[in-house]
Amino acid sequence: MNRLTLAASALALGALPATAQEARDVLDTYANIAEAAYGDSHHTALALKAAIHELVTDPSQDKLEAARAAWISARVPYQQTEVFRFGNPIVDDWEGRVNSWPLDEGLIDYVDASYGGPTDENEAAVVNVIGHPSFSLSGQTVDASEISTDLLADVLHEAAGVEANVATGYHAIEFLLWGQDLNGHGPGAGNRPWTDFAVGDSCTGGNCDRRAAYLLAATGLLVDDLEWMAAQWAEGGAAREAVLADETAGLTAILTGMGSLSYGEQAGERMRLGLMLNDPEEEHDCFSDNTHNSHYYDGMGVRNVYLGEYVRTDGTLVSGPSLSDLVSAKDPALDAEMQAKLDTTMAALGAIRTAAEQGFAYDMMLERGNAQGEDLVMAGVDGLIDQTRSIERVVAALGLNGVSIEGSDSLDAPDAVFQ
Protein backbone atom coordinates (compact mmCIF):
# COMPACT_ATOMS: atom_id res chain seq x y z
CA MET A 1 0.00 0.00 0.00
CA ASN A 2 1.48 3.34 -0.94
CA ARG A 3 1.46 6.44 1.12
CA LEU A 4 -1.33 8.15 -0.72
CA THR A 5 -3.75 5.29 -0.24
CA LEU A 6 -2.87 5.11 3.43
CA ALA A 7 -3.61 8.77 3.90
CA ALA A 8 -6.83 8.43 1.98
CA SER A 9 -8.04 5.48 4.01
CA ALA A 10 -7.11 7.22 7.24
CA LEU A 11 -9.20 10.17 6.14
CA ALA A 12 -12.07 7.94 5.27
CA LEU A 13 -11.85 6.22 8.63
CA GLY A 14 -11.74 9.56 10.42
CA ALA A 15 -15.11 10.48 9.01
CA LEU A 16 -16.76 7.35 10.33
CA PRO A 17 -17.80 6.53 13.87
CA ALA A 18 -15.27 4.52 15.85
CA THR A 19 -15.01 0.95 14.70
CA ALA A 20 -16.86 -1.56 16.79
CA GLN A 21 -13.61 -3.15 17.92
CA GLU A 22 -12.10 0.13 19.11
CA ALA A 23 -15.23 1.08 20.98
CA ARG A 24 -15.48 -2.37 22.48
CA ASP A 25 -11.89 -2.12 23.81
CA VAL A 26 -12.64 1.25 25.36
CA LEU A 27 -15.73 -0.15 27.04
CA ASP A 28 -13.68 -3.07 28.33
CA THR A 29 -11.24 -0.68 29.98
CA TYR A 30 -14.15 1.26 31.46
CA ALA A 31 -15.67 -1.90 32.94
CA ASN A 32 -12.25 -3.03 34.21
CA ILE A 33 -11.80 0.27 36.04
CA ALA A 34 -15.27 -0.08 37.56
CA GLU A 35 -14.58 -3.62 38.69
CA ALA A 36 -11.26 -2.61 40.25
CA ALA A 37 -12.59 0.53 41.93
CA TYR A 38 -15.67 -1.19 43.38
CA GLY A 39 -13.42 -4.10 44.40
CA ASP A 40 -11.13 -1.65 46.22
CA SER A 41 -14.18 0.00 47.80
CA HIS A 42 -15.28 -3.40 49.06
CA HIS A 43 -11.87 -4.21 50.49
CA THR A 44 -11.44 -0.90 52.25
CA ALA A 45 -14.97 -1.28 53.64
CA LEU A 46 -13.95 -4.66 55.06
CA ALA A 47 -11.04 -2.93 56.80
CA LEU A 48 -13.50 -0.35 58.12
CA LYS A 49 -15.75 -3.12 59.39
CA ALA A 50 -12.82 -4.76 61.19
CA ALA A 51 -11.86 -1.45 62.82
CA ILE A 52 -15.46 -0.83 63.91
CA HIS A 53 -15.67 -4.32 65.34
CA GLU A 54 -12.58 -3.50 67.41
CA LEU A 55 -14.13 -0.23 68.53
CA VAL A 56 -17.39 -1.68 69.79
CA THR A 57 -15.72 -4.73 71.37
CA ASP A 58 -13.14 -2.78 73.31
CA PRO A 59 -13.93 0.93 73.05
CA SER A 60 -11.19 3.53 73.51
CA GLN A 61 -10.09 6.83 71.99
CA ASP A 62 -7.44 4.99 69.95
CA LYS A 63 -9.97 2.52 68.58
CA LEU A 64 -12.33 5.33 67.64
CA GLU A 65 -9.54 7.15 65.83
CA ALA A 66 -8.50 3.96 64.04
CA ALA A 67 -12.09 3.48 62.83
CA ARG A 68 -12.24 7.10 61.64
CA ALA A 69 -8.97 6.63 59.73
CA ALA A 70 -10.37 3.48 58.11
CA TRP A 71 -13.48 5.41 57.04
CA ILE A 72 -11.36 8.12 55.41
CA SER A 73 -9.30 5.47 53.57
CA ALA A 74 -12.46 3.75 52.39
CA ARG A 75 -13.64 6.97 50.76
CA VAL A 76 -10.64 7.16 48.43
CA PRO A 77 -11.63 4.37 46.02
CA TYR A 78 -15.36 4.86 46.50
CA GLN A 79 -15.39 8.50 45.45
CA GLN A 80 -13.56 7.48 42.28
CA THR A 81 -16.54 5.24 41.43
CA GLU A 82 -19.08 8.07 41.50
CA VAL A 83 -18.44 8.71 37.81
CA PHE A 84 -20.16 5.38 37.10
CA ARG A 85 -23.41 6.53 38.67
CA PHE A 86 -25.31 8.63 36.22
CA GLY A 87 -24.69 6.73 33.02
CA ASN A 88 -25.46 3.30 34.45
CA PRO A 89 -28.98 2.73 35.80
CA ILE A 90 -27.84 -0.32 37.78
CA VAL A 91 -25.48 1.91 39.76
CA ASP A 92 -27.82 4.86 40.07
CA ASP A 93 -30.66 2.70 41.40
CA TRP A 94 -28.35 1.25 44.04
CA GLU A 95 -26.30 4.29 44.98
CA GLY A 96 -28.82 5.74 47.42
CA ARG A 97 -28.19 2.90 49.86
CA VAL A 98 -24.48 3.60 49.94
CA ASN A 99 -23.77 7.31 49.61
CA SER A 100 -26.98 9.24 50.27
CA TRP A 101 -26.44 12.83 51.34
CA PRO A 102 -27.45 15.20 52.83
CA LEU A 103 -29.11 13.54 55.80
CA ASP A 104 -31.30 14.57 58.69
CA GLU A 105 -29.09 12.85 61.22
CA GLY A 106 -31.61 13.26 64.03
CA LEU A 107 -33.35 10.23 62.55
CA ILE A 108 -30.45 8.08 63.79
CA ASP A 109 -29.14 9.39 67.09
CA TYR A 110 -29.22 12.26 69.57
CA VAL A 111 -28.54 15.72 68.20
CA ASP A 112 -27.83 19.15 69.61
CA ALA A 113 -30.79 21.38 70.53
CA SER A 114 -29.82 23.80 67.73
CA TYR A 115 -30.76 21.11 65.19
CA GLY A 116 -34.47 21.88 65.56
CA GLY A 117 -37.50 19.60 65.33
CA PRO A 118 -39.58 17.91 62.64
CA THR A 119 -39.90 20.03 59.49
CA ASP A 120 -42.61 20.56 56.83
CA GLU A 121 -40.60 18.23 54.65
CA ASN A 122 -39.60 15.60 57.19
CA GLU A 123 -41.67 14.48 60.17
CA ALA A 124 -38.97 11.91 61.00
CA ALA A 125 -36.13 14.42 61.24
CA VAL A 126 -35.69 13.81 64.98
CA VAL A 127 -36.93 10.24 65.49
CA ASN A 128 -33.61 9.18 67.10
CA VAL A 129 -33.96 5.45 66.60
CA ILE A 130 -30.94 4.67 68.80
CA GLY A 131 -32.72 6.35 71.71
CA HIS A 132 -36.17 4.88 70.98
CA PRO A 133 -36.91 1.15 70.76
CA SER A 134 -40.39 2.09 69.54
CA PHE A 135 -41.65 5.16 67.70
CA SER A 136 -44.31 6.37 65.34
CA LEU A 137 -43.68 6.89 61.63
CA SER A 138 -46.31 7.93 59.06
CA GLY A 139 -48.98 6.99 61.59
CA GLN A 140 -47.58 3.49 62.18
CA THR A 141 -45.82 2.25 65.29
CA VAL A 142 -42.38 0.90 64.47
CA ASP A 143 -40.82 -1.80 66.63
CA ALA A 144 -37.13 -0.95 66.73
CA SER A 145 -36.29 -2.99 69.82
CA GLU A 146 -33.82 -4.94 67.76
CA ILE A 147 -31.53 -2.91 65.52
CA SER A 148 -31.24 -5.10 62.45
CA THR A 149 -30.10 -4.58 58.89
CA ASP A 150 -33.75 -4.98 57.84
CA LEU A 151 -34.81 -2.16 60.13
CA LEU A 152 -32.17 0.14 58.65
CA ALA A 153 -32.52 -0.77 54.99
CA ASP A 154 -36.25 -1.47 54.70
CA VAL A 155 -37.96 0.63 57.37
CA LEU A 156 -35.82 3.65 58.13
CA HIS A 157 -33.95 4.35 54.91
CA GLU A 158 -35.85 7.01 52.97
CA ALA A 159 -38.70 6.61 55.46
CA ALA A 160 -41.90 8.45 54.47
CA GLY A 161 -40.41 8.93 51.00
CA VAL A 162 -38.04 11.60 52.30
CA GLU A 163 -34.54 11.41 50.83
CA ALA A 164 -33.01 13.12 53.87
CA ASN A 165 -33.94 10.07 55.94
CA VAL A 166 -30.61 8.39 55.35
CA ALA A 167 -30.23 5.36 57.59
CA THR A 168 -27.52 3.46 55.71
CA GLY A 169 -24.27 4.08 53.86
CA TYR A 170 -21.06 6.01 54.34
CA HIS A 171 -22.64 9.15 55.78
CA ALA A 172 -24.73 7.34 58.40
CA ILE A 173 -21.52 5.61 59.52
CA GLU A 174 -19.66 8.91 59.37
CA PHE A 175 -22.23 10.49 61.70
CA LEU A 176 -21.85 7.66 64.21
CA LEU A 177 -18.05 7.89 64.17
CA TRP A 178 -17.75 11.68 64.36
CA GLY A 179 -21.07 13.08 65.58
CA GLN A 180 -22.39 16.49 64.61
CA ASP A 181 -19.86 19.18 63.73
CA LEU A 182 -20.99 21.94 66.11
CA ASN A 183 -18.14 24.31 65.27
CA GLY A 184 -20.08 26.20 62.60
CA HIS A 185 -17.60 27.93 60.32
CA GLY A 186 -14.86 27.61 62.94
CA PRO A 187 -12.08 25.00 62.95
CA GLY A 188 -12.85 21.44 64.00
CA ALA A 189 -14.95 18.47 62.88
CA GLY A 190 -17.52 16.40 64.78
CA ASN A 191 -16.25 15.38 68.18
CA ARG A 192 -18.21 12.37 69.38
CA PRO A 193 -16.56 10.98 72.54
CA TRP A 194 -15.41 7.36 72.39
CA THR A 195 -17.47 6.81 75.51
CA ASP A 196 -20.60 6.94 73.30
CA PHE A 197 -19.64 3.31 72.65
CA ALA A 198 -18.58 2.46 76.22
CA VAL A 199 -20.34 -0.21 78.27
CA GLY A 200 -22.03 0.20 81.65
CA ASP A 201 -21.72 3.40 83.64
CA SER A 202 -19.06 4.91 81.39
CA CYS A 203 -21.56 5.12 78.53
CA THR A 204 -22.25 8.68 77.39
CA GLY A 205 -25.10 9.83 75.17
CA GLY A 206 -27.22 6.88 76.36
CA ASN A 207 -28.01 3.58 74.64
CA CYS A 208 -24.37 2.75 73.83
CA ASP A 209 -25.28 -0.85 73.05
CA ARG A 210 -27.88 0.24 70.52
CA ARG A 211 -25.44 2.75 68.99
CA ALA A 212 -22.85 -0.02 68.60
CA ALA A 213 -25.46 -2.33 67.09
CA TYR A 214 -26.50 0.38 64.64
CA LEU A 215 -22.91 1.02 63.60
CA LEU A 216 -22.24 -2.68 63.05
CA ALA A 217 -25.44 -3.18 61.07
CA ALA A 218 -24.81 -0.16 58.84
CA THR A 219 -21.23 -1.22 58.16
CA GLY A 220 -22.28 -4.79 57.38
CA LEU A 221 -24.80 -3.49 54.85
CA LEU A 222 -22.19 -1.25 53.25
CA VAL A 223 -19.77 -4.16 52.84
CA ASP A 224 -22.49 -6.36 51.30
CA ASP A 225 -23.68 -3.63 48.94
CA LEU A 226 -20.17 -2.92 47.68
CA GLU A 227 -19.40 -6.59 47.19
CA TRP A 228 -22.57 -6.92 45.13
CA MET A 229 -21.69 -3.95 42.93
CA ALA A 230 -18.13 -5.17 42.33
CA ALA A 231 -19.62 -8.48 41.14
CA GLN A 232 -21.89 -6.64 38.69
CA TRP A 233 -18.78 -5.31 36.93
CA ALA A 234 -16.91 -8.62 36.88
CA GLU A 235 -16.79 -10.82 33.77
CA GLY A 236 -20.41 -11.75 32.99
CA GLY A 237 -21.83 -9.30 35.57
CA ALA A 238 -24.97 -7.33 34.71
CA ALA A 239 -23.38 -3.87 34.74
CA ARG A 240 -20.52 -4.94 32.47
CA GLU A 241 -22.88 -6.76 30.11
CA ALA A 242 -25.15 -3.71 29.88
CA VAL A 243 -22.24 -1.46 28.92
CA LEU A 244 -20.86 -3.92 26.37
CA ALA A 245 -24.22 -4.70 24.79
CA ASP A 246 -24.20 -1.67 22.51
CA GLU A 247 -21.15 0.43 21.62
CA THR A 248 -23.03 3.68 21.13
CA ALA A 249 -25.00 3.28 24.33
CA GLY A 250 -21.84 2.25 26.20
CA LEU A 251 -19.87 5.31 25.09
CA THR A 252 -22.87 7.47 25.89
CA ALA A 253 -22.96 5.96 29.40
CA ILE A 254 -19.34 6.95 30.00
CA LEU A 255 -19.88 10.52 28.85
CA THR A 256 -23.21 10.90 30.64
CA GLY A 257 -21.53 9.88 33.87
CA MET A 258 -18.67 12.31 33.33
CA GLY A 259 -20.94 15.23 32.46
CA SER A 260 -23.66 14.71 35.04
CA LEU A 261 -21.20 14.22 37.89
CA SER A 262 -19.07 17.21 36.84
CA TYR A 263 -21.85 19.69 36.32
CA GLY A 264 -25.17 19.15 38.04
CA GLU A 265 -23.94 17.03 40.90
CA GLN A 266 -20.48 18.17 41.92
CA ALA A 267 -20.20 21.74 40.61
CA GLY A 268 -23.84 22.52 41.41
CA GLU A 269 -25.34 20.52 44.24
CA ARG A 270 -22.19 19.78 46.21
CA MET A 271 -20.03 22.87 45.76
CA ARG A 272 -21.74 25.99 44.47
CA LEU A 273 -24.92 25.50 46.49
CA GLY A 274 -23.04 25.23 49.80
CA LEU A 275 -21.14 28.38 48.98
CA MET A 276 -24.31 30.26 48.11
CA LEU A 277 -26.10 29.10 51.25
CA ASN A 278 -23.11 29.84 53.50
CA ASP A 279 -24.14 26.77 55.44
CA PRO A 280 -21.29 24.86 57.12
CA GLU A 281 -23.35 21.68 57.01
CA GLU A 282 -23.75 21.95 53.23
CA GLU A 283 -20.59 19.98 52.64
CA HIS A 284 -20.44 16.42 51.43
CA ASP A 285 -18.60 14.96 54.44
CA CYS A 286 -19.93 17.39 57.02
CA PHE A 287 -19.28 15.35 60.17
CA SER A 288 -15.68 14.36 59.42
CA ASP A 289 -14.61 17.49 57.52
CA ASN A 290 -13.28 15.20 54.79
CA THR A 291 -15.09 17.03 51.98
CA HIS A 292 -11.89 18.25 50.32
CA ASN A 293 -10.90 14.63 49.71
CA SER A 294 -14.34 13.59 48.50
CA HIS A 295 -14.39 16.36 45.92
CA TYR A 296 -10.84 15.60 44.84
CA TYR A 297 -11.46 11.91 44.24
CA ASP A 298 -14.76 12.60 42.47
CA GLY A 299 -12.81 14.76 40.03
CA MET A 300 -10.16 12.11 39.68
CA GLY A 301 -12.80 9.50 38.83
CA VAL A 302 -13.96 11.63 35.90
CA ARG A 303 -10.41 11.91 34.62
CA ASN A 304 -9.80 8.17 35.17
CA VAL A 305 -12.55 7.07 32.82
CA TYR A 306 -11.51 9.53 30.12
CA LEU A 307 -7.84 8.53 30.23
CA GLY A 308 -8.59 4.84 30.77
CA GLU A 309 -6.44 4.67 33.89
CA TYR A 310 -7.06 3.86 37.54
CA VAL A 311 -4.49 3.41 40.29
CA ARG A 312 -5.71 0.77 42.73
CA THR A 313 -5.37 1.10 46.49
CA ASP A 314 -2.43 -1.33 46.34
CA GLY A 315 -0.70 0.81 43.71
CA THR A 316 -1.46 -1.42 40.73
CA LEU A 317 -2.34 0.44 37.54
CA VAL A 318 -5.45 -0.64 35.64
CA SER A 319 -5.32 0.80 32.13
CA GLY A 320 -6.22 0.14 28.52
CA PRO A 321 -7.59 1.72 25.34
CA SER A 322 -9.45 4.86 26.33
CA LEU A 323 -12.02 7.41 25.31
CA SER A 324 -9.06 9.76 24.97
CA ASP A 325 -7.60 7.46 22.27
CA LEU A 326 -10.90 7.46 20.39
CA VAL A 327 -11.20 11.23 20.49
CA SER A 328 -7.56 11.74 19.61
CA ALA A 329 -7.96 9.63 16.47
CA LYS A 330 -10.78 11.87 15.29
CA ASP A 331 -9.83 15.27 16.60
CA PRO A 332 -6.46 15.56 18.36
CA ALA A 333 -7.10 19.19 19.29
CA LEU A 334 -10.33 18.27 21.08
CA ASP A 335 -8.56 15.49 22.98
CA ALA A 336 -5.86 17.95 24.06
CA GLU A 337 -8.56 20.41 25.12
CA MET A 338 -10.41 17.76 27.13
CA GLN A 339 -7.25 16.61 28.89
CA ALA A 340 -6.22 20.18 29.68
CA LYS A 341 -9.65 20.94 31.17
CA LEU A 342 -9.53 17.82 33.33
CA ASP A 343 -6.08 18.81 34.55
CA THR A 344 -7.22 22.35 35.34
CA THR A 345 -10.06 20.95 37.44
CA MET A 346 -7.73 18.59 39.26
CA ALA A 347 -5.36 21.47 40.03
CA ALA A 348 -8.26 23.51 41.44
CA LEU A 349 -9.58 20.60 43.51
CA GLY A 350 -6.00 19.95 44.61
CA ALA A 351 -5.72 23.54 45.85
CA ILE A 352 -8.87 23.09 47.98
CA ARG A 353 -7.42 19.88 49.36
CA THR A 354 -4.05 21.44 50.17
CA ALA A 355 -5.67 24.40 51.90
CA ALA A 356 -7.89 22.07 53.96
CA GLU A 357 -4.90 19.96 54.96
CA GLN A 358 -3.24 23.15 56.23
CA GLY A 359 -6.20 23.81 58.52
CA PHE A 360 -8.49 25.91 56.28
CA ALA A 361 -11.32 23.37 56.34
CA TYR A 362 -13.99 23.23 53.67
CA ASP A 363 -16.75 24.43 56.02
CA MET A 364 -14.64 27.50 56.84
CA MET A 365 -14.42 28.30 53.13
CA LEU A 366 -18.24 28.49 52.99
CA GLU A 367 -18.59 31.34 55.48
CA ARG A 368 -20.41 34.50 54.42
CA GLY A 369 -17.90 37.03 53.10
CA ASN A 370 -14.92 34.65 53.16
CA ALA A 371 -13.33 35.74 49.88
CA GLN A 372 -10.39 33.31 49.91
CA GLY A 373 -12.70 30.37 50.52
CA GLU A 374 -15.07 31.50 47.79
CA ASP A 375 -12.20 31.85 45.32
CA LEU A 376 -10.89 28.37 46.10
CA VAL A 377 -14.29 26.68 45.81
CA MET A 378 -15.34 28.65 42.73
CA ALA A 379 -12.12 27.72 40.91
CA GLY A 380 -13.19 24.09 41.32
CA VAL A 381 -16.76 24.87 40.24
CA ASP A 382 -15.57 26.80 37.18
CA GLY A 383 -13.22 23.99 36.17
CA LEU A 384 -16.00 21.42 36.43
CA ILE A 385 -18.46 23.53 34.43
CA ASP A 386 -15.84 24.29 31.80
CA GLN A 387 -14.92 20.64 31.35
CA THR A 388 -18.60 19.80 30.86
CA ARG A 389 -18.62 21.99 27.73
CA SER A 390 -15.75 19.93 26.34
CA ILE A 391 -17.52 16.70 27.28
CA GLU A 392 -20.45 17.90 25.16
CA ARG A 393 -18.06 18.52 22.27
CA VAL A 394 -16.70 14.99 22.68
CA VAL A 395 -20.26 13.64 22.49
CA ALA A 396 -20.67 15.47 19.19
CA ALA A 397 -17.24 14.47 17.83
CA LEU A 398 -17.90 10.80 18.48
CA GLY A 399 -21.15 10.96 16.58
CA LEU A 400 -23.28 10.23 19.63
CA ASN A 401 -25.66 13.06 18.69
CA GLY A 402 -29.31 12.25 18.85
CA VAL A 403 -28.87 9.55 21.47
CA SER A 404 -31.49 10.29 24.07
CA ILE A 405 -29.76 10.32 27.41
CA GLU A 406 -32.96 9.54 29.26
CA GLY A 407 -33.73 6.63 26.94
CA SER A 408 -37.15 6.13 25.48
CA ASP A 409 -39.21 3.46 23.84
CA SER A 410 -39.04 4.86 20.36
CA LEU A 411 -35.25 4.91 20.44
CA ASP A 412 -34.42 1.88 22.54
CA ALA A 413 -37.06 -0.40 21.04
CA PRO A 414 -38.16 1.07 17.71
CA ASP A 415 -40.25 -2.01 16.94
CA ALA A 416 -42.43 -1.39 19.98
CA VAL A 417 -43.80 1.71 18.29
CA PHE A 418 -45.35 -0.38 15.56
CA GLN A 419 -46.80 -3.07 17.79
Burial 192-203 (b: 16+ CB within 10 A, else e): bebbbbbeeeeb
> Does residue 302 contact residue 262 with C-beta atoms inside 8 Å?
yes
For residue 338, give the nearest of 330, 328, 350, 349 by alpha carbon: 328
Cβ 120 to other proteins, closest distance in Å? Answer: 5
Among positions 2, 140, 141, 408, the unique one binding other proteins when judged by CB under 8 A: 408
> Does residue 246 contact residue 254 with C-beta atoms inside 8 Å?
no
Handedness of CA 103, 106, 109, 115 (dihedral sign): positive
Q: Scanning residues 40 to 59, which ones bind other proteins (CB under 8 A)?
A: none
Handedness of CA 235, 21, 18, 305 (dihedral sign): positive
> Does residue 179 contact residue 19 with C-beta atoms inside 8 Å?
no
For residue 323, give the nearest of 375, 382, 257, 401 by alpha carbon: 257
Residue window 87-126: x/- pattern of binding to other proteins, with contact defined by CB under 8 A: ---------------x-------------x--xxx-----
Candidate segments 173-181, 287-295, 351-359, 388-396, binder of other proteins by CB under 8 A: 388-396
- Concatenating the DSSP letter of every residue in 69-130 gives HHHHHHHHHHHTTGGGTTT-HHHHHHHHHHH--S--GGGTS---GGG-S--SS-TTTT--TT
Among positions 199, 238, 245, 276, the unique one binding other proteins when judged by CB under 8 A: 276
168 is a contact residue toward other proteins (CB under 8 A): no
Please work out the total of residues on this chain that contact other proteins, with binding judged by CB under 8 A.
Answer: 44
Cβ 108 to other proteins, closest distance in Å? Answer: 16
- Each as own residue / partner, the long-range contacts of residues 271-276 (CB below 8 Å, 24 or more positions apart, any chain) are 271/295, 271/377, 271/380, 271/381, 271/384, 272/377, 272/378, 272/381, 274/366, 274/377, 275/365, 275/366, 275/373, 275/374, 275/377, 275/378, 275/381
Residue window 121-160: x/- pattern of binding to other proteins, with contact defined by CB under 8 A: x----------------x---------------------x
Largest interatomic CA distance in the chain: 88
402 is a contact residue toward other proteins (CB under 8 A): yes
> What does R_g of the chain's alpha carbons equal in angstroms?
23
250 is a contact residue toward other proteins (CB under 8 A): no
Q: Which is nearer to other proteins, 266 or 339 (CB)?
A: 266
Can you tell me whether residue 312 is helix, strand or coil?
A: coil
Among positions 58, 368, 375, 413, the unique one binding other proteins when judged by CB under 8 A: 368
Q: Which is nearer to other proteins, 259 or 308 (CB)?
A: 259
Q: Which is nearer to other proteins, 161 or 200 (CB)?
A: 161
Candidate segments 7-15, 167-175, 263-271, 322-330, binder of other proteins by CB under 8 A: 263-271
Q: Which is nearer to other proteins, 262 or 291 (CB)?
A: 262
340 is a contact residue toward other proteins (CB under 8 A): no
Among positions 157, 272, 303, 330, the unique one binding other proteins when judged by CB under 8 A: 272
Cβ 85 to other proteins, closest distance in Å? Answer: 8
Cβ 187 to other proteins, closest distance in Å? Answer: 21
Residues forming the site for other proteins (CB under 8 A)? 86, 102, 116, 119-121, 138, 160-161, 163-164, 259-266, 268-269, 272-273, 276-279, 368-369, 388, 391-392, 395-396, 400-406, 408, 410-411
